[in-house]
Amino acid sequence: MALMITDECINCDVCEPECPNDAITQGDEIYVIDPDKCTECVGHYDEPQCVEVCPVDCIPKDPAHEETEEELRAKFERLTA
């Protein structure tokens, strides 16, 4: 399942540089996560790095983009090929 950033985001700028897939970008009002690039850091780290550094805990799983561990790993392999 890809992650998403909620409107509780305070635009602190700490999540964007932590994403190994460049899935996080500045949106119109808050940062956004591209679900086509988000692997929840599968293949890179044990835990999603954006969640680890977020000071306001505003990065939950995106229910609109459910993916299994295997699907996330396959996405990681496509992105890093």
Domain 16-80, CATH class in plain words: alpha beta
Instruction: Give residue limits of the domains in the chain.
Output: 16-80
- Position 1 scores a pLDDT of 80
Taking residues 66-73, report their average pLDDT.
95
Summarised one tens digit per residue, pLDDT across range 6-43 is 999 999 999 999 999 999 999 999 999 999 999 999 99
Note if the pTM is more than 0.85.
Answer: yes
Reported for 25-34, long-range contacts at CB under 8 A and 24+ positions apart, including other chains, are: 30/5, 31/5, 32/5, 33/2, 33/3, 33/4, 33/5, 33/59, 33/62
Residue type, position 75, single letter: K
CA 25, chain centre distance (Å): 10
pLDDT band for 54, please (50, 70, 90 cuts).
Answer: very high
